[in-house]
Structure formats: structure tokens, C-alpha cells
Amino acid sequence: MKHAPEPPRSSGGRDTTPSGISLKVTYPAEDPRDLPGEFPFTRGIHANMYRGKLWTFRQYAGFGNVEETNRRFRYLLEQGQTGLSVAFDLPTQIGYDSDDSLAGGEVGKVGVPISTLEDMDALLEGIPLEDVSISMTINSTAAMLVAFLVGVARKRGIPPQKLRGTVQNDMLKEFISRRTYRFPVAPSLRLVTDIFEYCQQELPRWNPISVSGYHMREAGSTATQEVAFTLANAIAYLEAARERGMPLESLTRRISFFWNAHNHLLEEIAKFRAARRLWAQIVRERFGVVDPECGRMRFHVQTAGSTLTSQEPENNAVRVTIQALAAVLGGTQSLHTNGIDEALGLPSQASARTALRTQQILAYESGVADVADPLGGAPAVEALTTAVEDEVRKILERIDALGGTLRAVEEGLPQQAIEEEAYRQQKEIESGERNVVGVNCFRDESSGSTEAAAQGVDVALEPKRIETLRKRKAARSKARIASLCARLRADAGENKNVLPALVECGEGGVTIGEMATTLAQVYGEYHE
Amino acid sequence: MSDQGSQRDPPIRVLLAKPGLDGHDRGIKVIVRALRDAGMEVIYTGLRVTPATIALAAVQEDVDAVGISNLSGAHRTLLPEVARQLEQAGVDLGRVALFGGGTIPPEDHPELLAAGFRAVFGPGTPTTEIVRFLEKEVRS
């Protein structure tokens, strides 16, 4: 085992400044009733915020194969990371096994390939599932990955009730911007709700969704569109759960969100504050859930990959710092900071370390974690918070007028708005209206091409992986696989919750590709 | 002379495509609009098309240029395969300008150029640079 760095001897939140001036946990805003931890949570979801508990340092990682990814996970945990975040490759995300011809070239590229329960077990080798929370960025095949995880926990004798973590499971934003869809909109929403229901019964400590604005922002949306389209999706999910007859009191406690953090520090801070205020009101007003506990918006933030430049990549460390600062001043519960080389590919180990250190410096050196919502009450921040809120409400009204989120997504309203915005931003960069330091201004013409060494994935891994998987598949009983798939098909056809059948499939050796193909026979496939 | 020539020239026809499973389409959609604004005719295939389908579309649409976008790290497999399929479909890469773009590290450029790509554009490339490239490659 590598030597682990010494953990800090003092916690992040302190009650005095380096000059010895005492710091309160929070300071009053204009309205003294407006406090962190109080409805509508504009100022944060906890009264003492980071003095009580720092945000989770959660770096998204996964590439190559299960062994290499497992090594990166263990490295990050040794370096003081406090939660895992799994990146899956595109075939896994869309429901193709690594040996499928449509997976050619994509195996292990943007994440780790997981086709079977055995893969999942190897990925989490040596990771204490009862202690480390695991976040999985998976959507179309979220139900299969949850099934694999439950299977691994059972195999290790860990009751699934003890598992902590999050599954992204936000299909609507896949149609809007992230685009790893497989099944049509209606069955996709069914699967989302199946996961809600299953988690409520079997994985009570698990967050069954992370409603995500991140990818819409990456695709070009503004900050207000990011919040509006994401809240519209969240409303659609709660409506679907209500239709299923689920009690919203428990579901709303477990819903989490995922935001982007861009360079405009003040607007971003205002965005996080406005998002919390809006959600608390939506839960109360639209859904009649009055327990304030249920309207606390918990969220994860990732810094903005799309703001990083391949030119002068070291400047990206500064962008990441500003964005991470916005997330912390905005009261995030969990954070991923990007590596400086991410405009070109996967972060190298060195830049992944600097990215994690950025969070640690904010937490342990900057002092911003000492006071809850330190900018609350600042006239500019309060005015911007209200302005973001108003803007978001206008967009939500337009979506309501159109007949709701599903209709808006089917008609392409968010997609179109985001596309327009992306083109506008590109034109502004090219005309110089929007500054990108080192790219369209303050550019060093003499400097050569980039020094950043993003990590490539060894091309020999894919054929090796395919061979192993083929052998493993060939060793199974065909009849057994067929009967497991038949049960899954029957459950899907009868509109039963498919999770129990998926867990049984995973434990019986059925692959993710076989599960997805079986479901596609019932659900159909989505094509743009 | 060149001014008069370009007035008589029919618009440049470009096929833009995303092979593989990659869904990052912000960049390619921006390029679609920028090329249209520059007066070109653009056909965009949408997501998840196979290299063979791209080649077929290039032949059917009789395009002057084919642009391939990839941001999933699969460029070393998919881009050369597109070049192979185009040639197999009878597309003369001396006449049709094949180009690529996306998060493709500079060290991978030489092998793509050797496979038949005339240029590979990285993140942050101004759209005007791609317009100039196409005008030069197709008109000369």
C-alpha cells in the first residue's frame, strides 16, 4: 500500500481568523429571519453548513478497464477523497456489451466498461461498500447497474439497506442534452420511476436520482436555463412518482441535484441560492409537501469542462478554482473539480491530484468554509439571486403553458433554446464580445502547442476485454440465460417493476447488453 | 477573376457526421450553423451513425467535403474507419476533403492525417478557420 498523506489535524470550519478575530457561524442578512437551514433554504440547507460537515470531495473517474479504474479509486481514497464517482464507458451507458459491434472503439474510453456482475465486483474490489458512498453516472441502464451493485453487496454479505450513494437516473436531460438514450421517452420515464420505487423499498439510504443541469450547461445553456429546465424535469419526475402512488414525503428527501459551476462567480453563487429557494417552494406549493425537511435541495457540483481551453492549459487551474469557489460559496454538498487537461482528454494522475488539492485548499486554507453563506445579505448577491429566481419562473411558466415538461422535451423546446445559445456564445467568442483569456485575448503568439498531457487509453485494452467477455459468456448455460431474460421480458410487458428481475438476471450472469436488448423488445428504441 | 469565379460556383456541399456512440453534439451543431451562415449546404447525419452509413450518405449527397466529430476518445478507431469506408464506396479523397474535429490530442493527428484526413481541428478552433479551410480545399 502506498504511503497515504497525513490528514489535516484541524477541521475545515474554524471560529477565528488568522488575526484572531472571532467568526460567527453565520451573519444576518437583510431579513434576520432569513437564515441558513431555514425554509426556503436560500442561504443553505444546514444551519452551521461546513462547520458541521465539509462537502464531499468526489472526483469522477473511470477509464480503460476495471482493474485500472479500481487502482485510481483506491489512489483517490488514499489521497483524502471522501466518496467515489464512477464514470462508465458509452457502451455500458447505452446498454451494449463490450463485444458488441456497435461498441467498436468506445470500450473503456470515457469510463469503465461494465457488462456483468463480475465486472462490477472487480471494479469495487477492496472498497468497503458500507463506508464509502458511491455515485454512478448512469441513466438509460441505471436499473441494470443498481441491480449489479445490489448483487455485489449480497455476494459480500452486506445488506443492500446499508448502501449509500447516488444513481444519476435522469433520463429527461439525456433527451435534452447528454444523449445516452436507448429507449423512448415514456418507457425511459417508467424505468426512472421503477428505480425510485425499488430504492424506497430496498435501498433506503440511496439517492435514486440526481436531477442534472450540468450537461445542459455544457451543451450551451445559460445559468437560468440550466436551473429552469432542470427544475422542470424534477417536477416531471415527482409527477410520475405521484401517479405511481408513491409517497412524495420520502422521495423528496432522497432527490438530489447536479449543477455546473461556470466562471461568473457572482451569477453562479446567485444561481445556487435561487435554485434552493425555488425547489423548496415547488415542493411545498406544487406538490403540497409541507414538511420543510422535504424541500431541502441537496446537490453535487462539477466545474465546467466546456470553459477549459486547450490553449495555455495551465490557466485552467485558475478557472477551476473560481468555479469551485462559486460552488462552495453557493453551499454545495459535494464537488468535482476538473483537471486542467480535460479540454483534450482524460486527466492524468498529476492533474487529477491538483484538481483534488484545489478542493482541499478551499476547505482547509481559504477559510470560506468557516461561515455559512458568507455572501448572504450582500446587495449584489441578493439582487442577483432574486433576478435568477424571476427568470427561472418565467421559463417554468412557458413550459407549463406548453403542457408540461414531457411535451416541451418532445417538441424540442429546451434543445432548441440550448442550441441557439451555444451558437450565440461561439459567435461572441469569435467577435471578441466574450473574453477567453489566452484564446481570444492576451494570447501568447510565441508559445508552442499545449504542454498538457491528457491521458490516453491503451488501444490494446479493447480486444483483450472483448476476448475475456466472450469466453465468460460462452461458459454460461444458454437455457438459464434465456429463462432469466424471459422473466424480465414478461415483467416489462406486464408493466411490473423490472428491478427484481434485473437483480435476478445480474446474479444469474445475464449481461447488460442482453438485459437492454430484452427491454428494447418490449419498450422499443429511441432515434432522434 | 477569383471573385467572379466564386459567384458562379455552386455552394460547397458538406456532410457532417458523428460516428460511434458519442453524444457530444454541441460542437458539430455550431459548425452546421456556421457553415450554413457562410453560404454552404450542410447535411448533418445526427448521432450514432456507422462509418458505412456515413460513406453511403457522402456518395448519395455528392458532397465536396466530409467532416467527422468525435469527443469520446474513439477517434483512433472510428476516424480511420470512416476514411476506409469512403474509399471503399468509391469516394476519391483527393477530390472530397475529409476533415475531423473534437477532443483529439495533437499526438494522434499524424495517424489521422496519414489515414486520409486533411485537417484535424481541436477545441477552441474559430469557425472562421474551418470556413477558410473548406473554401481553400474545395475551390482550389
What lies within 8 Å, CB to CB, of A113 at 6+ separation is A65, A66, A88, A89, A91, A92, A98, A107, A119, A465
Instruction: Domain of residue A165: give its range.
Output: 49-431
Residue A210 touches partner B, C-beta closer than 8 Å = no
Prediction pTM value: 0.95
Higher-pLDDT residue of B124, A320: A320
pLDDT band at A340 (very low <50, low <70, confident <90, very high): very high
User: Which residues of chain A neighbour B68 with C-beta distances below 8 Å?
Assistant: none
Cβ contact (<8 Å) for A106 and B72? yes
Question: Which one of B26, B82, B125 would you mutate to disrupt binding with A, by most A Cβ within 10 Å of its Cβ?
Answer: B26
pLDDT score recorded for residue B4: 46
| CA nearest to B26, candidates B133, B124, B99 | B124
- B43-53 pLDDT, tens digit each: 999 999 999 99
Q: What is the CATH number of the domain that holds B67?
A: 3.40.50.280
User: Which residues of chain B neighbour A346 with C-beta distances below 8 Å?
Assistant: 73
Cβ contact (<8 Å) for A344 and B122? yes
Residue A130 has pLDDT above 50, yes or no: yes
pLDDT score recorded for residue A10: 64
Residue A266 has pLDDT above 50, yes or no: yes
Residue A348 has pLDDT above 90, yes or no: no
Contact between A160 and A203 (Cβ < 8 Å): yes
pLDDT score recorded for residue B2: 45
Contact between A63 and A69 (Cβ < 8 Å): yes
Q: What is the CATH number of the domain that holds A261?
A: 3.20.20.240
Q: SS3 string of chain B?
A: CHHHHHHHCCCCEEEEECECCCCCCHHHHHHHHHHHHCCCEEEECCCCECHHHHHHHHHHHCCCEEEEEECCCCHHHHHHHHHHHHHHCCCCCCCCEEEEEECCCHHHHHHHHHCCCCEEECCCCCHHHHHHHHHHHHHC
pLDDT score recorded for residue A5: 63
Q: Which three cell numbers stand for residue A140?
A: 438509460
DSSP secondary-structure letter at A33? Answer: T
Instruction: Tell me what the mean pLDDT of segment A295-302 comes to.
Output: 97
pLDDT score recorded for residue A458: 82
Instruction: Tell me what the mean pLDDT of segment B54-82 comes to.
Output: 97
Instruction: Tell me what the mean pLDDT of segment A33-60 comes to.
Output: 94
Residue B6 has pLDDT above 80, yes or no: no
Cβ contact (<8 Å) for A102 and B26? no
Question: How far is residue A250's CA from residue A383's CA, in Å, rounded to a whole number?
Answer: 33
Mean pLDDT score across all residues of chain A: 94
For residue A141, being part of any structural domain is answered with: yes
- A393-408 pLDDT, tens digit each: 999 999 999 999 999 9
For residue B2, being part of any structural domain is answered with: no
- Point out the least confidently predicted range of A2-6, A251-255, B10-14, B88-92: A2-6
Q: Is residue A7 packed enough to be buried (19+ CB in 10 Å), middle (13-18) or exposed (0-12)?
A: exposed
Instruction: Tell me what the mean pLDDT of segment A100-122 comes to.
Output: 96
Residue A310 touches partner B, C-beta closer than 8 Å = yes
pLDDT score recorded for residue A59: 85
pLDDT band at B1 (very low <50, low <70, confident <90, very high): very low
For residue B1, being part of any structural domain is answered with: no
| CA nearest to A514, candidates A522, A523, A501, A505 | A505
pLDDT band at A83 (very low <50, low <70, confident <90, very high): confident
Closest Cα in chain B, distance from residue A102 (Å): 7
Question: Which one of A65, A221, A341, A423 would you mutate to disrupt binding with B, by most B Cβ within 10 Å of its Cβ?
Answer: A423
Residue A220 touches partner B, C-beta closer than 8 Å = yes
pLDDT band at B103 (very low <50, low <70, confident <90, very high): very high
CA distances (Å), origin A85, targets A98, A107, A165, A198, B112: 21, 19, 9, 21, 33
pLDDT score recorded for residue A30: 81
Cβ contact (<8 Å) for B128 and A430? yes
A–B: how many Cβ contacts below 8 A?
95
DSSP secondary-structure letter at A221? Answer: -
- A64-73 pLDDT, tens digit each: 899 999 998 9
pLDDT score recorded for residue A118: 97
Cβ contact (<8 Å) for B103 and A91? no
Name the residue in chain A with its Cα closest to that of B46.
Answer: A528
pLDDT band at A112 (very low <50, low <70, confident <90, very high): very high
Query: Based on the structure, what is the number of domains in chain B?
Result: 1
Whether this model's ipTM surpasses 0.90 comes out as yes
Query: Where are the alpha helices (H) located in A292-433, listed in sequence order?
Result: 316-329, 349-364, 379-402, 405-411, 413-431
Residue B22 touches partner A, C-beta closer than 8 Å = yes
Cβ contact (<8 Å) for A344 and B74? no
- A156-213 pLDDT, tens digit each: 999 999 999 999 999 999 999 999 999 999 999 999 999 999 999 999 999 999 999 9
For residue B70, being part of any structural domain is answered with: yes
Opening angle at CA A178, ends A174 and A181, nearest 5: 45
Instruction: Domain of residue B133: give its range.
Output: 10-139
Ramachandran angles phi, psi of A499, nearest 5°: -60, -50
Query: Based on the structure, what is the number of domains in chain A?
Result: 1
- Point out the least confidently predicted range of A70-84, A425-439, B28-42: A70-84
pLDDT score recorded for residue A528: 83
For residue A373, being part of any structural domain is answered with: yes
Report the length, in residues, of chain A: 528
Question: How far is residue A307's CA from residue A261's CA, in Å, rounded to a whole number?
Answer: 10
Q: What percent of chain A has pLDDT over 90?
A: 86
Cβ contact (<8 Å) for A109 and B72? yes
Contact between A39 and A295 (Cβ < 8 Å): yes
Residue B67 touches partner A, C-beta closer than 8 Å = no
